[in-house]
A and B are shown apart, each in its own frame.
Chain A
């Protein structure tokens, strides 16, 4: 089982980056840096950054001998995440509708 499980450097880097990307949105919220619309956009962008760090630093989506599994899993994951986010927005907009 001589597989590449990433270097210590990669893990430490990922860890530090995730910490930073966690502290920033917290600080933005606590300090009321942006107005609501802008805040939402920035936090969402940072969340996507977190996701990429997870995938590249911890989950090794680049290596492994069967990239086909990875591709299938990633596509499926993307579809489900899209469903959760877009579906929720679609379903919950009834709140703002005028009846």
Chain B
């Protein structure tokens, strides 16, 4: 491995020492807490070895919120540095590291796990299933993500952070340009969690195709489930490309190959390959958000979604068409007019199904009886925000014009508008919507409104000036600029907006903590007067979800059932309980992922023996799993009856 420019520990910057101290204090605090309250066993039994999709979902959620915090701090540091000209708050090197970790964390370790959290929490409940198709694999996916994220974040303390951008273009990311271990942290952190993402894609695809309650034809499936299906298809086709691309980069770095090097390889091939994953990836994360908006709009307008079929159709089109637009990220490579024209047209074409969806949401609200609750607030804020984001996207898609916009702050504003206004708003809306289902209480309304308004105002204050800055010639990834550029006022405004969003996040943390103590309890299991199956069971759902698997007859089945129940003629049949088949929990996913962590850590520092030892551990875990015979058990009828009675569902 090339020369090490730094020691093992990252040193030299007071900011980093401060963060080190904070990390150590927090870790010690957690360890002392767990020991004093004798919680280690509880942690292992209830969480680390669980295969319950609801718990796995909560672990994804907690991790992603922590990552949102770290990515958010990165963002605020960058905005501080750019607030005024000639600032000496961060060095150029430090700035490079921060924009790299910010982007990587926000997409791969914040958006992806947040999305998987919602998959896990909602999908089985929404389709009337007792778990996912492969519960063991599901736990493995989570722990792979967790250890991948841990490895990536470790670069902050030891070895040094990656600094070649969130997509790590060669030749800069090759050994000659980035000799330290930072790039290896990037590669291994993403690879390890990437295996988990691919497995989750497969898992939920199979779950949705195979485990729907009887009677739930595909065309009766709620739209969130459809959106997850389309997202999973895209994951399955896109993630292998990422894995292979990063593996090739690692071969270059580790074995001295020249696949992407500047001297005899072809760095542009990397750019071509990585965007084959990168563009579908943005649709992977936004499609489920579309699904969430659909559920919310329909619930809070008390209407069936307008144009259900066209919604399904447009999501499927987006998930496939999203695979045919990747060149719009490097029009300026100069592949020729024919290539650029083709990809400009496919890119613009994606705007059509997206537009269809926007109109459908609007028509669903039209003449609906709308209740403005927190999920609905975020949904309403999303619509104009995403329309502008999409429109600037179409501007970028005009290949000749993109020679002007490319890699300017105009681009930065575009993708933050789609990612924050589309993805983050969507997941937050989903979080507010399904929170009572997860925990049995609602999140406080007043604090939520404060969070909503600071986030939203902050968003526009932060990003609208960036469009202008782009036109004024400010390029992305500059760490400082002079007074003569005339960029100072807009940058200052933008930084103020960023901090407003930071305050919004603090409101949300406060809101969660406050509501844990004082939140409005939900005893009905159906706090929003919902329409789909997840609202037919208690909150939080019992281990087995459905005591009796429902028989689905309509779309929006729970809504129709409630209508039928309101009828005086309605007679509820006493439920026929049967023993419930459940998966046993297992420690192997955790241990195996920890072994993968050792693999990643070893190869990151070029300690091949450590890496190989880790691989051996992975192999042993696989072996151990394949000899496990009893991986499932039955919950007896008595226990089901008791649980249901304790939840107030007498049967």
Contacts and interface: CB of A to CB of B under 8 A. Distances in A.
A83 B336 CA distance: 18
Interface string B240-276: 0100000000000000000000000010110011001
A95 B268 CA distance: 10
B323 A83 contact: yes
B169 to A, nearest CB: 16
A3 B327 CA distance: 43
B266 A91 contact: no
A92 B272 contact: yes
Contacts of A95: 266, 268
B272 A91 contact: yes
Contact of B336 (A77, A88, A97): A97
B619 to A, nearest CB: 15
Contact of B333 (A84, A88, A94, A97): A94
A69 interface: yes
A97 B334 CA distance: 11
B317 to A, nearest CB: 13
Contacts of A80: 237, 323
Chain B, interface SS category: helix
Contacts of B334: 94
B176 interface: no
A27 interface: no
A83 B325 CA distance: 11
A83 B324 CA distance: 8
B583 to A, nearest CB: 14
B323 A91 contact: no
A77 B241 CA distance: 13
Interface string A79-99: 010011000101110110100
Contact of B335 (A69, A77, A84, A91): A91
B272 A88 contact: yes
Contacts of B339: 90-91, 94
B506 interface: no
A95 B320 CA distance: 28
Q: Contact size class for B?
A: 10 to 19
Interface in A60-87: 69, 76-77, 80, 83-84
B327 A84 contact: no
B276 A84 contact: yes
Contacts of A94: 333-336, 339
A64 to B, nearest CB: 11
Contacts of A83: 323-324
Contacts of B324: 83
A1 B323 CA distance: 35
B209 interface: yes
A80 B241 CA distance: 11
A88 B209 CA distance: 32
B185 to A, nearest CB: 28
A39 to B, nearest CB: 16
A14 to B, nearest CB: 17
A92 B241 CA distance: 17
A69 B273 CA distance: 28
Contacts of B335: 91-92, 94
A92 B273 CA distance: 11
A94 B272 CA distance: 12
Nearest to A88: B272
Interface string B323-355: 110010000011110010000000000000000
Scoring A76, A88, A91 by chain B CB atoms within 10 A of each residue's CB, the highest score goes to A91
Contacts of B269: 88, 92
A92 B266 contact: yes
A80 B238 CA distance: 10
Contacts of B272: 88, 91-92
A95 to B, nearest CB: 7
Interface in B291-340: 320, 323-324, 327, 333-336, 339
Given A77-B237, A91-B335, A92-B272, 9 more contacts: A80-B237, A83-B323, A83-B324, A91-B339, A92-B268, A92-B269, A94-B333, A94-B336, A94-B339
Interface of B: 209, 233, 237, 241, 266, 268-269, 272-273, 276, 320, 323-324, 327, 333-336, 339
30 contacts: A69-B209, A76-B233, A76-B237, A76-B320, A77-B237, A80-B237, A80-B323, A83-B323, A83-B324, A84-B241, A84-B276, A88-B269, A88-B272, A88-B273, A90-B339, A91-B272, A91-B327, A91-B335, A91-B339, A92-B266, A92-B268, A92-B272, A92-B335, A94-B333, A94-B334, A94-B335, A94-B336, A94-B339, A95-B266, A95-B268
10 A-B pairs closest in CB distance: A94-B335, A91-B335, A80-B237, A94-B336, A91-B339, A88-B272, A91-B272, A91-B327, A80-B323, A94-B334
